Amino acid sequence: MTRISLTVDGEKVSDDIEARMLLVQYLREKVGKTGTVIGCDTSNCGACTVHLNGQSVKSCNVLAVQADGGEVATIEGLATNGELHPVQTAFRECHGLQCGFCTPGMIMQSIDLLANNPHPTEEEVRVGLEGNLCRCTGYHNIVRAVMYAAEHGSSDSVQSEGASA
Amino acid sequence: MTATQERPADVQAEIGRDRRRKEDQRLITGRTRWTDNLQLNGMLHLAMVRSPFPHATITNIETSAAKDTTNVVAVLTGKDFGEELGVCINAWPITPDQKTPAHSPMPADRVAFAGEIVAVVVARTAAEARDAAELVEVDYEELPAALELKAAAAADENGGAIAHPDLGTNKSALWVFDSGEAGTGGDVEEAIASARTDGIVIEREYRQQRLIPAFMEPRSVVVDPTGEQLTMWSATQIPHILRFALAATTGVPESKIRVIAPDVGGGFGGKLQATPEEWITWAVARRLGKPVKYTETRSESLISAHHGRDQWQKLTLAAQKDGTVTGLKVELLADLGAYVALVGGGVPVLGAFMFNSIYKFPAYHFACQTVLTNKTWTDAYRGAGRPEATFAIERIMDELAVEVGVDPLEVREKNWIKHEEFPFTTVAGLEYDTGNYEAATERAKEMFGYDDLRAEQKRRREANDPVQLGIGISTFTEMCGLAPSRVLGSLDYGAGGWESATIRMLATGKVEVVTGSSAHGQGHETAWSQIVADRLGVAFEDIEVLHGDTQVSAKGLDTYGSRSLTVGGEALVRAADKVIEKARPVAAHMLEASVDDLEFTGGRFSVRGTDQGVAIGEIATAVFAAHDLPDGMEPSLDSEATYDPVNFSFPHGTHLCAIEVDTETGALKIRKYVCCDDIGTIINPLIVAGQIHGGLVQGIAQALWEEAVYDENGTLVSGSFVDYLLPTAADTINFDIDHTTSPSTTNTLGTKGVGEAGTIASTPAVVNAVVDAIRHFGVTDIQMPCTPERVWKAVNGGTHGGTEDTEGAAMPHFDEAEPGNSSTEGAGA
Ligand code: FES
Ligand code: FES
């Protein structure tokens, strides 16, 4: 057992965990952050995407101990004071989700994409989301949602989400 | 006392409005209820031990090492259970003499596919269960495995391996339809014979490769046996059918069973199943008296959740020299895999009525042989039977056009049912109520820029451009809205096809809608609210749609076969109409008027010719108080309707696809995809667009990328998301979609289904485009998926694919010289 301490969606947490525990398991099983989901066992689907220290990561591909001392942001911490993050709004507005299983990962990845490239072309969005699988939407409306967020979302809120309380 | 706003009569109609979805607020904020999220007090976790061999006798299972592990509670095998384990059922024996192998959720003696469960480990955590599963030692004696479909079908003659030796054959059932015998058309053999002497006969064989539904949420099941009712939560499309099947096979009274489908992450037919995993979890929870959870890994999902398609299709089309079709004969081989799944045998039969499609064939013969093999079982996958049929007919219509020497649209138009000919009874015996193929095609051509693209194609061909352009057409129709119960009965299906809805008028004027459909991404909460809002004249926001829990929604037949709207939506309409009829005498009483003088519009009863009126919400409040109701009236407006459809619904559309083929590398690029679908009345255009986009990509993926591939050891080599190629955002394009509308006449709203349309239509449009691009190299077919390698070989070797590629088809993506690809390890949980 190893002790780790980190912040998850702005709250401090600390636990004794097995060294082999994946970050996604830690989030789901220990912190109760079941908004982040597991879609595969080969790091292909991106459903588990969160931000670690401001960067998107596939949390099934990171050990929980690697997040020790870090800041993790999940889908559950995005909305502040009941206000949706612009990318969340864009997904709803553009019907960028159906079953919603890929959605937490898609949104977290899209935020990262827009943080690095606030005004992407459609092609850049498609390539930027290549690591996230969706079986429902055919991606058409997901791509539209990211383009919409780029157009309508304030880049401030895009950048500040990592530290949101 | 009521917070409900009255809806003015001139308020925007909800039906047809692009409402943003009610479901989304939870889903975009992570406030979700996936089955795997559940934690219950004292809950135990399961891990499955699975066979690495496709066919073997289990000679011994050594569980002691696993049992001795810390926090392991039990290790159980098939031998530890009796009848309480139940059986996996086949609800659709397609013929009276169908050979149906016994299907235990956890067989004690013999496994019939790689991935089958032989033992289950129960531990305090999932990780501990998985660790201990590695310690379970199973001894197998391998048996010869029936793997390749054609070889398995011929095993009676060639002495090949038999998937279930006790059955003595791999042939499960032969299902035949003949228009001459059915009286719906002529004799196909005559048509073919006469076309051979003075007409055109085209014979083709097409391969429907094996696919995996690959819903994004892995299957998960939780069973809590601690209450008075045993409760199962499952990532399923079919909570109601599961409840029935559990009662029928495990000896628990139906009234003691509650099944809940909480948030379910996609299904596409893949969660239309009564699974061994559910049955084992059920049995373990009952045995131990504790809540138990099982969640599969993706790799387990790919090898054990049912697969789809997997057919060989032989078609003979007869036509006159001018291209007028005179007969169609279809002979199918369908791979069931190791067991006859819930509706597994019935899937190809659903296609039986669709090969003739929109065309006026005077004679038709269909025969399907279902075949057992030692591979993962197959069952419904988006479209279920209809994509297969549509693919084959739309491919062969292109071949007919080539033979006649005309544009493929021309030969279609010559043969399709004209809009003025509806309703039209087809050679397969179905009555198509409405449609307008001319209108959809014209609109699609216009959006596509058909003539310009044909001109460009010609230019590139003449210039010998290394990048050739192909144009693919699919003028599809399908039958959906499953299904009239009587028809299902005549096909020997084990249940009906009705759907149920209940509307509860709450005291505050709010409305609860209970539906028997079970959404898993389709947006029923939104669309159902729109329908009821319009019908009852209440605000969209005041309606709550409840589903997916047999304690709340007691009756239902769930969601599949594009049935929810056409069947479940009609049930809603009828329940709402009953509410209005119950409210009418109360309104008359409140207004001191005669019922005959009342009219109901915009949620309000008013006395004709006056400004007196009362809103339905106010009536609900008055009925709740019940202080002053008409004599003898039951104080309730709540209403239920169960609707059995009178016919299927027949959406159709014209899909056009332009593909660029690099003849030097075989690389493909989808340049443009356009479709114009007629799905009848549209409730929510945003949701409809989403269904079409997603459907298109699944169909395109069959054409270009996906295939479940087995090696000669019976191991699924595309058993992870590394090897099973789901398309990504970078592989796909934006689509141009539009609609023409000829409302269905068999339901009040005029709706047709849309859930499967995109998938059914798109596969042949894409393959037709690929073949069209390189036909001048002598290519007449490319087997799916049309990988760059296959395309390149076709360009360089002329005619390729189709029937020539039976052997290689087993391992198209892998170098056969490298047996290292086919690891049989790691199949354990
Ligand atoms: S669960 Fe992390 S990539 Fe699939
Ligand atoms: S919305 Fe279902 S997987 Fe993306």
Q: What is the CATH number of the domain that holds B555?
A: 3.30.365.10
Query: Which has the closest alpha carbon to B572: B629, B622, B643, B628?
Result: B643
Domain that holds residue B772: 433-480+648-813
What is the overall mean pLDDT for chain B? Answer: 94
Residue B277's H or E segment, with its range, is helix B276-288
Q: Mean pLDDT, to the nearest integer, of B598-621?
A: 96
Q: Mean pLDDT, to the nearest integer, of B816-821?
A: 37
B362 within domain boundaries: no
Token readout for B108 is 């004690």
User: In degrees rounded to 5, what are phi and psi of residue B504?
Assistant: -110, 120
pTM value is: 0.94
Asked whether the predicted pLDDT for residue B822 surpasses 70, the reply is no
- In ligand 1, which atom is closest to the CA atom of B298? 4
pLDDT at B12: 77
Last residue of a domain, one of B627, B643, B659: B643
Q: Same domain, yes or no, for B664 and B791?
A: yes
Percent share of chain B, pLDDT over 90: 93
Token readout for B52 is 């690495």
In the DSSP assignment, the letter for residue B527 is H
Last residue of a domain, one of B619, B643, B667: B643
Residue B797 pLDDT class (50, 70, 90 cuts): confident
Chain B residue at shortest CA distance from A32: B37
Beta-carbon count within 10 A of B701 CB: 26
Beta-carbon count within 10 A of B467 CB: 14
Q: Same domain, yes or no, for B527 and B634?
A: yes
**Contact list, B299 vs chain A (CB under 8 Å):** 41-42
Q: Mean pLDDT, to the nearest integer, of B275-304?
A: 98
B343 within domain boundaries: no
Residue whose CA is at the smallest distance from ligand 2 atom 3? A134
The verdict on a CB contact (< 8 Å) between B32 and A74 is no
Asked whether the predicted pLDDT for residue A161 surpasses 80, the reply is no
Q: Which domains does chain A have, with CATH numbers?
A: 2-77 (3.10.20.30), 86-152 (1.10.150.120)
Token readout for A45 is 């689907």
Asked whether the predicted pLDDT for residue B810 surpasses 50, the reply is no
Q: Same domain, yes or no, for B695 and B631?
A: no
Q: What angle do CA B356, B345, B704 make, to 5 degrees?
A: 65
**Contact list, A79 vs chain B (CB under 8 Å):** 29
Q: Mean pLDDT, to the nearest integer, of B239-265?
A: 97
Q: Could you tell which of B21, B24, B216, B520 is best to mutate to test the pocket of ligand 2, judged by most ligand atoms within 8 Å of the CB?
A: B216
Q: Could you tell which of A40, A44, A49, A97 is best to mutate to test the pocket of ligand 2, judged by most ligand atoms within 8 Å of the CB?
A: A97
Residues 6+ apart with CB under 8 A from B576: B503, B531, B532, B535, B536, B639
Q: Same domain, yes or no, for B90 and B217?
A: yes
Residue whose CA is at the smallest distance from ligand 2 atom 4? A134
**Contact list, B29 vs chain A (CB under 8 Å):** 35, 75-76, 78-79, 84, 88
pLDDT at B7: 54
B680 within domain boundaries: yes
B624-637 pLDDT per residue, tens: 999 999 999 999 99
The verdict on a CB contact (< 8 Å) between B730 and A126 is yes
Last residue of a domain, one of B601, B622, B643: B643
A105-156 pLDDT per residue, tens: 999 999 999 999 999 999 999 999 999 999 999 999 999 999 999 999 754 4
Q: Same domain, yes or no, for B590 and B726?
A: no
- Kindly list the distances between the CA atom of residue B442 and the CA atoms of B447, B451, B560, in Å, as whole numbers in the listed order: 9, 12, 31
pLDDT at B317: 98
Residue whose CA is at the smallest distance from ligand 1 atom 3? A43
Sign of CA dihedral B457, B458, B463, B466: positive
B512-540 pLDDT per residue, tens: 999 999 999 999 999 999 999 999 999 99
Q: What is the CATH number of the domain that holds B44?
A: 3.90.1170.50
Residue type, B112: A
B556 within domain boundaries: yes
Chain A residue at shortest CA distance from B724: A44
B353 within domain boundaries: no
Q: Same domain, yes or no, for B516 and B583?
A: yes
B727-773 pLDDT per residue, tens: 999 999 999 999 999 999 999 999 999 999 999 999 999 999 999 99
Task: Please answer whether residues B371 and B298 qualify as being in contact, where contact means their C-beta atoms are separated by less than 8 angstroms.
Answer: no
- Bond preceding residue B101 cis, omega within 30 of 0: no
Q: Which ligand is closest in space to the CA of residue A102?
A: 2
Give the minimum alpha-carbon distance from A28 to chain B in angstroms, rounded to a whole number: 8
B502 within domain boundaries: yes
Number of domains comprising chain B:
3
B820 within domain boundaries: no
What are the pocket residues of ligand 2 if the criterion is a CB atom closer than 6 Å to any ligand atom? A 97-103, 134-137; B 216, 265-266, 521
pLDDT at B482: 87
Angle subtended by helix axes B276-288 and B239-250, to nearest 10: 60
Centroid of ligand 1 to alpha carbon of B47 (angstroms): 20
How far apart CA B460 and CA B454 sit, in angstroms, is: 10
Task: Please answer whether residues B785 and B595 qualify as being in contact, where contact means their C-beta atoms are separated by less than 8 angstroms.
Answer: no
Task: Please answer whether residues B435 and B494 qualify as being in contact, where contact means their C-beta atoms are separated by less than 8 angstroms.
Answer: no
Q: In sequence order, what DSSP letters do the residues of B645-666 get, joined into one string? A: -SS-B--EEEEEEEEEEETTT-
Percent share of chain B, pLDDT over 70: 95
The verdict on a CB contact (< 8 Å) between B694 and A138 is yes
A46-90 pLDDT per residue, tens: 999 999 999 999 999 999 999 999 999 999 999 998 899 999 999
Sign of CA dihedral B312, B313, B316, B317: negative
How far apart CA B336 and CA B377 sit, in angstroms, is: 6
Q: Same domain, yes or no, for B566 and B437?
A: no
How far apart CA A112 and CA B405 sit, in angstroms, is: 54
Asked whether the predicted pLDDT for residue B345 surpasses 80, the reply is yes
Give the minimum alpha-carbon distance from B21 to chain A in angstroms, rounded to a whole number: 7
B450-495 pLDDT per residue, tens: 999 999 999 999 999 999 999 999 999 999 988 899 999 999 898 8
Asked whether the predicted pLDDT for residue A158 surpasses 80, the reply is no
B828 within domain boundaries: no
Q: Same domain, yes or no, for B615 and B661?
A: no
- ipTM value, please give it: 0.94
Chain A residue at shortest CA distance from B735: A140
Sheet with B117-123, edge to edge strand ranges: B72-77, B117-123, B44-50, B292-295, B220-224, B230-234, B257-260
Q: Same domain, yes or no, for B630 and B723?
A: no
Q: Same domain, yes or no, for B670 and B788?
A: yes
Asked whether the predicted pLDDT for residue B653 surpasses 60, the reply is yes
Only one residue has tokens 């898993």, namely: B520
- Is any Cβ of chain B less than 8 angstroms from the Cβ of A114? no
How far apart CA B114 and CA B828 sit, in angstroms, is: 10
B661-693 pLDDT per residue, tens: 999 999 999 999 999 999 999 999 999 999 999
pLDDT at B799: 54
Token readout for B742 is 């000829």
Residue A2 pLDDT class (50, 70, 90 cuts): very high
Q: Mean pLDDT, to the nearest integer, of B694-723?
A: 97
Chain B residue at shortest CA distance from A28: B37
Q: Same domain, yes or no, for B622 and B725?
A: no
Asked whether the predicted pLDDT for residue B619 surpasses 60, the reply is yes
Residue type, B825: E
Q: Same domain, yes or no, for B534 and B596?
A: yes
Q: In sequence order, what DSSP letters do the residues of B712-760 get, joined into one string? A: TTS-BSS-STTTS----GGG----EEEE-----SSSTT-B---TTHHHH
B176-223 pLDDT per residue, tens: 999 999 999 999 999 999 999 999 999 999 999 999 999 999 999 999
- Bond preceding residue B587 cis, omega within 30 of 0: no
